[in-house]
Amino acid sequence: QKEVEQDPGPLSVPEGAIVSLNCTYSNSAFQYFMWYRQYSRKGPELLMYTYSSGNKEDGRFTAQVDKSSKYISLFIRDSQPSDSATYLCAMSASGNQFYFGTGTSLTVIP
């Protein structure tokens, strides 16, 4: 079993829709949770960082962590064509080594 599971998609939504991206994990020691956005032929860009459980909001983005279910989510409100990218979840127990999901490909259609 992989440490982190992420549905690869692809996910296609109309502009303005609410997007929900999810990851599950198996290691209960994970306590640092991140979401990255990666455009084609670019390196991943850190979007959101959350420590332990709870919600964090930044503009149109909301990250949720449910440690009891070993489940994390990223919500994108009022999605824009510029949000079209691959979204990667990542997590770490110690902060030294990070485990990534395989990424979900998102397309926002104008």
Distance between CA atoms of residues 57 and 53, nearest Å: 13
Q: Binding residue for other proteins (CB under 8 A) from 42, 71, 77, 81?
A: 42
Selected from 36, 64, 74, 83, the binder of other proteins by CB under 8 A is: 36
User: Residue 10: which of 18, 2, 1, 21 has the closest Cα?
Assistant: 21
100 near other proteins, judged by CB under 8 A: yes
Q: If binding is defined by CB under 8 A, does position 22 make contact with other proteins?
A: no
Residue 15 CB, shortest distance to other proteins, in Å, is: 27
d(CA 3, CA 91): 9
Query: Is 54 among the residues that bind other proteins (CB under 8 A)?
Result: no
If one asks whether residue 44 binds other proteins (CB under 8 A), the answer comes out as yes
H or E element at residue 54: strand 54-58
Residue 101 touching other proteins (CB under 8 A): yes
Q: Which residues contact 31 (CB under 8 A, 6 or more apart)?
A: 51, 52, 67, 92, 93
Which CB sits closer to other proteins, 36 or 83? 36
For residues 94 and 82, give the distance between their C-alpha atoms in angstroms, rounded to a whole number: 33
Which residues would be at the binding site for other proteins (CB under 8 A)? 32, 34, 36, 41-46, 49, 51, 88, 90, 92, 94-103
